[in-house]
Amino acid sequence: MTVGYRLVALGACAALVATSLGSAPAAAQFTVFDPSNYSQNLLTAARTLQQVNNQIAALQNQARMLRNQALQLKSLDYSALAPMREALAKIDRAIADAEGVAMDVRSTQAALDQLFGSVEGTSSTGQLIARARAQARAAMDGYRQSLKVQAQIVENLQADAPLIAELVAQSQGAQGGLQAQQAANQLQALAIKQDQQLQALIAAQSRADALERARQSQILEAGKLSARAFVGARQAYTPD
Tell me the per-residue pLDDT of 148-160, one tens digit each, with 9 for 90 and over: 888 989 899 888 8
- Determine whether 212 is exposed, middle or buried from the number of CB atoms within 10 Å of its CB (0-12, 13-18, 19+): middle
Mean pLDDT of 133-140: 85
Look at residue 6 in the predicted model and tell me its pLDDT.
Answer: 46
HSE of 226, CA atoms in CB hemisphere, 13 A: 12
* Confidence class for position 33, pLDDT limits 50, 70, 90: low
> For residue 80, what is the enclosing H or E element?
none
- Judged against a pLDDT cut of 60, whether residue 180 lies above it is answered with yes
Domain chopping of the chain, boundaries = 45-74, 81-229
CA dihedral (89, 92, 94, 100) in degrees, to 10, reads: -160
Confidence of residue 233 (pLDDT cuts 50, 70, 90): low
- Side chain identity at residue 122, one-letter code: T
The 10s digit of each residue's pLDDT in 185-217 is 888 888 888 898 888 889 888 888 888 888 888
Residue 130 has pLDDT above 70, yes or no: yes
Q: What is the pLDDT of residue 219?
A: 79
Residue range 82-88: mean pLDDT, rounded: 88
